[in-house]
Amino acid sequence: MTTLTHEEIVRGLAENREAPNGAARNAHAEALAGAAEAVGDRALFREALDNLINAYLYSSESPKILVPFARLLQEYDKDPAAFSEWETHSLFWQFKWVATAIADSPGIPLESATGWLEEMERRYRLAGYSERPVRDAELWLAHATGDDERAERAFRSWLAAERDDMSDCQACELGGQGHYAVLRGDDAEALELWRPVLTGELVCAEEPHRVLASSLLPLLRLGRNDEARSNHLRGYRMARGNESLLPSVGKHIEFCALTGNTSRGLEILAEHASHVAPLANLDDRLAFHGGILVLLHRLRELGHGDLPAVSYEGTPRTVSGLYEVLYAGCLDVAGQFDARNGTARVSERFRARVVREPLAADLPLGVRSTGLPRPTNDTGKAAPAVPAPDAATPNGFAELVARARNARDLGHPGADALWAEVALRLDAQPAADPLVRADLADQQALAAARRGAQEARELLAAVRDEYRVLGRAERAALAELRMAGAAAQSAAAPAEVRELLRAALRSAEALDHAEPLRARRIALAELSAIRLESYLRSVEASGPGGHHQHGHPGEEGQEHAHGELAAELASFIAAHEEAAPDVVAEAEEMSGRVTLAQGDPERALPLLATSAARAVTAGRPWQAVDPLVLRAGVLMSLDRTEEAEQAARSALEHAAELTDAEAQGAVRLTLADILLRRGGTAAEAAEHALTAAHWFDRAGLGTDGGAQARLLLARAYANDERTVEAAEVLQSTLPDLLEHGDGQTVFVREFLGDLLRRLGELRPAAEQYLLAAEVAKGWEDPRPQASLAQSAADTLDDAGLAEEAVAAYERALELHRRTGADPVAEVRVLRSLAWLGLREEITATAVDLARGRMGEAAAVLEAALAADPGAPALRSELAQTWHQLAQVLDRYVATAREADGDEDIDDARPTPLSPAQVDALRREEIELWDRSGRTYAELGPDHLRDRFQCLNNAAWTEQERGDAEAGAARVAALIEEVRALAEDEVPDWLLPSAERLLTQLKGRAG
C-alpha cells in the first residue's frame, strides 16, 4: 500500500466527512486512520480516529466504533493536555455511542457491558458532567436484561438528573422516552412525549426521522389512521436509503404489512434490497429484518408465498424462501442476545412481532403501488369473491333468494353479490328449484353480455326459453330485449338487431295486462330501441372503416342526428313519465347528454337534475349518481361553483350503495376537483382525492383515474402545506401522469419542481423544470418554456451551481426576448445574470459586465414604460434595478478596500481603488439610491419599506464620504412627510427606525 503524506491524509479526511454513509466511507476511513498512525502525527491520528468513529456510527457497522474509541481513549489517558477542549468534549460525547453499541452487541459479555457503563459513570463524575446520559444508557441495558425494576429506577433518575453539555438533544431524549412508554404499553403517553418532535418544534440530524417511524403502530392502535398515513409518507422519505435508519425503514415496511398495503411494503423492500443481508449491527439487523418478516408473514397468509421477493446473499428468493432464511437468521440473533442477557425477552418479542395481526384492514396511503396478483387457494382456483354465509338452512336460503330477486328487480348495485352467494349455497339445498337455476343462468348470461362475450346471445336465448317453460313471460321478455343489445355489441347486421328489438317489444306488449311489470318492459324496449337505433343509423351512414357513405356529412350530419335523437327522447319521456319513472330517468339523463353534445349546457342542466330527482323518488338513489356527477361538471364549466359542489355532494350521498369501484372513484374525484377549485377546503379535497385513488386502484384504473386522483391529492396536500406528502404522492404516480399528453406533462413536472424546491431538494427540482421546458420546446408559444427555464435557473442558482444557472438564464433570456411579452421576467433574468457574474470574483471586468446587464434591464423597462407610462409594476422594477446596481457598486468598493495593502494580489482579486475612484463610485451609488427612492415615493405608501431602505443606504454612504448632515437631512424630510400621512398608511416600524437612524447620523455629524 502506498504511504500517504500528511497533506493527503488531511485532504482525505475532509473528503471522507462529506462522503455518503456506508461501507465505502467506512473502508476509506479505516485506511486513513491506519495511514495517520503510520505518519506518527498524534493530532492527525486523533482526528482520523474521530472520523472513523463517526463513519461507523452512521452506518450498519456501528458496533465497530468500540475499537477506534478504545484507541482514542488510550490517547487521552496518555496525555489529556494534548486534547483540545473540543476534542475532549467529543471524546466524552462518544462514550454514549459506545454504551449503545455495547448494549447492541451480544458478543460482548454482560459483565464487560456493565463494566463499560461503570467506567462511563466514573469518568463523567470526575469530569463534572451530569449523570443524565449514564442513566439513559443504564435504562436500555437493564431493559434488555429483563431487570424492569432497575430500568424503571434508571428512567426516573434520567428524568431527574440535570441537563448539561453532555445531554442528548431534546428531540433525541423525547424519542427515547416515548419508546420506553411504548414498551410499557402506553401509546398515548408516547405520542404526547413525541408531539414536539412530530410537529417539527424539536428536530436534529436523526429526528423526526426515527420518531415518525416509531409512531406508526401506536397511532394505528389508537385509531388515528390519518396521522399514521401522514407520518409514513413524511417519515419514509426521510429514512429512505439511509443505512443508519434501517430499523426505521423496517417499521415502515411493517406498517404497510399491517394496513393492507403489502404491495407498497414490497416496493420499499425492493428499494433496500442491498441491505437485506447479514448486517454487522445485530440489533439493527433484528429490527430491520423483523419488519420485513412481518410483511413476508402477511404475504404468506394471503397466499402470496410463491411471489418473487428480493435476493439474499446473491440468491433470488420467493416470499416464502426469504421468510425462511430471514426468520432463521433473526431467531439466531435473538438467541444470542438472550444468551448474553440471561432472559428470553428478545426472542419472545421477535416471535410476537412477526405474527402481528393487521391493525387496519385497508388503509389508503395515496401513493401509487403496483397491485399484487390474485392469490390462489390450494386447488389452484381463484378464491371466491364472496364468502359463504354462516347459515345454510332452507329458510335462510329462501330468504336469500328473495333478497336477490328484489335487488335484481330494483337494479340494486348489490344484486350481483347476492346472486353469487346464492350460487355458492345452491348445491347444499335438499331440492333444486328450477326457477332459482334459471335466475342464476340469467345472471351469468347478463354478466357475459356486459363483458361482450361472444356466447352472450346464445346464453340469453337459453334463458329466454327456460323462463318461457317456467311460465315467467316477463323475465323471458327482458332476456329477449337483452339479446338485441348483445347482437348490437357483437356488430350484428342492423336489420338483425332491429328484428330482435321488434320481437322484444312484441313480447313486452303481449304480457298480460295484469302483469305489474308490463308497462316497464314496454318502456325498456322502446328506450332500448331509441338508443340502439341511433347507433344503427350511425353504422349505416358509415362504410368500411367507419367512412361516411350516406346522409348528412360532417358537423351538419351530427347536428341532425342529435336533433332527431333529442326529439325521440322527448316523445318517450312524455309517454312514459307516469308508468316507468326509473326508465324515464334514464331517458332524461340520455337527453341531457345529447343536449350537451349539441352545445347547449344551460338546457342540459334541468334535464340532468330532473333525471336525478326522478331516480331518487323511484327508490333508486344510486341511479342519480351519474347525472349528478355530470351536472356538477357542467356547472363548474359555467363557473357556478357553489351549485356544482351541491350536485357533487348529493352524488356522493347517493353513491353509498354503489358497488362499482370506478363509479365510486369518479364521484369523489369530481367533488375533490370542485373543492380545490373553490379554494379554502384543501383538507376535505385531499380526503376525497385519497379515497378516489383507492377506488380507482380497486377498479384496475390506477394509471388513469387513479393518476388524476393522485394529482389532485398532491395539489390538495400542497395547498394544505403538507409538502412532503404532496411530493411523495406525485412522484409515485409521475410515470402514469406523463402518459396523458404534453400539456399535463409540463404541468406535472413544473408542479413537482415547485414541491422539491420547497423541500430544499434543489438539483432534482431544477431537473424537473428543465425536463418540462424540453417538452414545451416545440410549442408555438415560447413563454411557457421561458418561464420554466427561468425557474430552473433560479433553482440552480440557489443550489450554488453557477455555470449551469448561467446557461439556463441565457436560454430563458433568449426566449423572453423572442416573445417580448414579459419585460419584468426578462429584467429579472438580466439582474440574476449580473449577480452571478460576481459570485466567483469582483473585479473591474466583472463589475463592468454586471453594470452592463443592469443597464440592459433598465433599458427594457424604460422601453416598456414608454408604451405604458402608468404601469406601477414596471416602475417598481426600474427602481429595484437602480437599487441593485448601487448594491453592485457598493460591494465592489468594499471588496476592493479589502485588497488594499494586500501584497499577494492576483488576477482573481480586485485591484485596489484610488480615493478618487472610491469617491466617484460612492457618489454614483448615492445618485442611484436617490433615483430609486424618488420612484418608490411616486408609487405611494405601499413602497415605504423599499424607499426607507434606499434612503438608509444613501444616508450611510453620505456619512462615509464625510457628510453625515446630508444623510440626516434626507431622513428628517422623510420623518416629516410620514407624520403627515394617515396613521393606517404608515407601518409601525417606520417612524421608530427613521428616528433611530436620524439620531445615529446626527451623532456622527457632531
Is a pLDDT exceeding 80 seen at residue 71?
A: yes
Q: Using 50, 70 and 90 to split pLDDT, how confident is the model at 909?
A: low
- Confidence at residue 821, expressed as pLDDT on a 0 to 100 scale: 87
Is a pLDDT exceeding 80 seen at residue 211?
A: yes
d(CA 707, CA 210): 30
- 196, with CB counted inside 10 A (0-12, 13-18, 19+), is middle
d(CA 311, CA 762): 34
What three-state secondary structure class fits 656? helix
What three-state secondary structure class fits 376? strand
What three-state secondary structure class fits 413? coil
Over residues 514-556, the pLDDT tens digits come to: 999 999 999 999 999 999 988 888 888 775 555 545 444 456 6
Mean pLDDT computed over every residue of the chain: 91
Over residues 409-448, the pLDDT tens digits come to: 999 999 999 999 999 998 888 877 899 999 999 999 999 9
Angle at 794 between CA 790 and CA 795, to 5 degrees: 115
**Residue whose C-alpha cell is 434591464:** 857
d(CA 824, CA 827): 5
Report the Cα–Cα distance between both ends of the chain, in Å, rounded.
71
Beta bridge mates, 318: 308
Is a pLDDT exceeding 70 seen at residue 468?
A: yes
Q: Strands, DSSP E only, in 470-579?
A: none
d(CA 219, CA 46): 45
How many CB atoms sit inside 10 A of residue 604's CB? 23
Amino acid at 818: R
How many CB atoms sit inside 10 A of residue 7's CB? 8
Output the furthest CA–CA distance in the chain (Å, rounded): 119
**Residue whose C-alpha cell is 408465498:** 305
d(CA 663, CA 651): 10
Dihedral angle over CA of 329, 333, 339, 342, nearest 10: -120
d(CA 375, CA 119): 57
Q: Are 56 and 85 in contact (CB under 8 A)?
A: no
Is a pLDDT exceeding 80 seen at residue 575?
A: yes
- Confidence at residue 393, expressed as pLDDT on a 0 to 100 scale: 46
Output the nine-digit C-alpha cell for 70: 478504545
How confident is the model over 743-755, as a mean pLDDT? 97
- 195, with CB counted inside 10 A (0-12, 13-18, 19+), is middle
Cα–Cα separations (whole angstroms), residue 222 to 217, 226, 371, 936: 9, 11, 28, 57
d(CA 260, CA 361): 5
- Confidence at residue 778, expressed as pLDDT on a 0 to 100 scale: 85
Phi, psi of 703 (to 5 degrees): -85, -10
- Confidence at residue 905, expressed as pLDDT on a 0 to 100 scale: 47
**Residue whose C-alpha cell is 362499482:** 660
What three-state secondary structure class fits 540? helix
Q: Are 134 and 158 in contact (CB under 8 A)?
A: no
d(CA 53, CA 407): 71
- Confidence at residue 963, expressed as pLDDT on a 0 to 100 scale: 87
- Confidence at residue 391, expressed as pLDDT on a 0 to 100 scale: 38
Is a pLDDT exceeding 80 seen at residue 906?
A: no
- Confidence at residue 59, expressed as pLDDT on a 0 to 100 scale: 81
- Confidence at residue 534, expressed as pLDDT on a 0 to 100 scale: 86
Over its C-alpha atoms, the chain yields an Rg (Å, rounded) of: 38
Dihedral angle over CA of 935, 938, 943, 949, nearest 10: 40
Burial pattern 219-246, b for ≥16 Cβ within 10 A else e, equals bbeeebeebbbbbbbbbbbbbbebbbbb
Helices (H), 371-492: 394-410, 415-426, 434-450, 456-469, 473-489
Ranking 84-88, 373-377, 499-503 by mean pLDDT, the lowest is: 373-377
Chain-centre distance of CA 4, in angstroms?
47
Output the nine-digit C-alpha cell for 85: 477542549
d(CA 996, CA 991): 8
**Closest listed residue to residue 723, CA positions, set 200, 201, 261, 174:** 200
d(CA 295, CA 354): 8
How confident is the model over 685-709, as a mean pLDDT? 95
Output the nine-digit C-alpha cell for 913: 481603488
- 778, with CB counted inside 10 A (0-12, 13-18, 19+), is exposed
Is a pLDDT exceeding 50 seen at residue 705?
A: yes
Q: Using 50, 70 and 90 to split pLDDT, how confident is the model at 389?
A: very low
Phi, psi of 425 (to 5 degrees): -95, -10
What three-state secondary structure class fits 301? helix
Judged by phi (left if over 0) then psi (alpha if -120 to 50, else beta), residue 128 lies in left
Q: Are 936 and 950 in contact (CB under 8 A)?
A: yes
Over residues 306-338, the pLDDT tens digits come to: 999 999 999 999 999 999 999 999 999 999 999
- The verdict on whether omega for the bond into residue 606 sits within 30 degrees of 0, i.e. cis, is no
Q: Are 659 and 417 in contact (CB under 8 A)?
A: yes
d(CA 769, CA 754): 9
Is a pLDDT exceeding 80 seen at residue 901?
A: no
Q: Using 50, 70 and 90 to split pLDDT, how confident is the model at 1004?
A: confident
- Confidence at residue 169, expressed as pLDDT on a 0 to 100 scale: 94
User: Quick one: three-class SS letters along 664-685?
Assistant: HHHHHHHHHHHHHHHCCCHHHH
Beta bridge mates, 542: 548
Length of the chain as a residue count: 1006
Over residues 860-882, the pLDDT tens digits come to: 999 999 999 889 999 999 999 99
The secondary structure of 898-937 as a DSSP string is HHTT-S---TTSPPPPPHHHHHHHHHHHHHHHHHHHHHHH
Over residues 925-973, the pLDDT tens digits come to: 999 999 999 999 999 999 999 999 999 999 999 988 888 888 888 889 9
**Residue whose C-alpha cell is 342526428:** 561
Instruction: Express as a percent the part of the chain with pLDDT over 70.
Output: 95
Is a pLDDT exceeding 90 seen at residue 695?
A: yes
Amino acid at 541: A
d(CA 321, CA 314): 13
Cα–Cα separations (whole angstroms), residue 803 to 711, 785, 791, 793, 825: 33, 20, 15, 10, 20
- Confidence at residue 583, expressed as pLDDT on a 0 to 100 scale: 96
Output the nine-digit C-alpha cell for 486: 348483445
Helices (H), 598-681: 601-617, 625-637, 641-654, 661-678
Beta bridge mates, 312: 315
How confident is the model over 209-236, as a mean pLDDT? 97
The secondary structure of 30-52 as a DSSP string is HHHHHHHHHHT-HHHHHHHHHHH
More confident: 680 or 4 = 4
Q: Are 183 and 221 in contact (CB under 8 A)?
A: no
Over residues 95-133, the pLDDT tens digits come to: 888 888 888 889 889 998 899 899 999 999 999 999 999
Angle at 405 between CA 399 and CA 408, to 5 degrees: 140
- Confidence at residue 56, expressed as pLDDT on a 0 to 100 scale: 87
Is a pLDDT exceeding 50 seen at residue 381?
A: no
Cα–Cα separations (whole angstroms), residue 161 to 133, 706, 888: 9, 54, 54
**Closest listed residue to residue 298, CA positions, set 254, 335, 340:** 254
**Closest listed residue to residue 438, CA positions, set 421, 456, 463:** 463
Angle between helices 625-637 and 641-654 (to 10 degrees): 170
- Confidence at residue 508, expressed as pLDDT on a 0 to 100 scale: 94
- Confidence at residue 105, expressed as pLDDT on a 0 to 100 scale: 86
Is a pLDDT exceeding 70 seen at residue 72?
A: yes
- 250, with CB counted inside 10 A (0-12, 13-18, 19+), is buried
d(CA 499, CA 505): 10
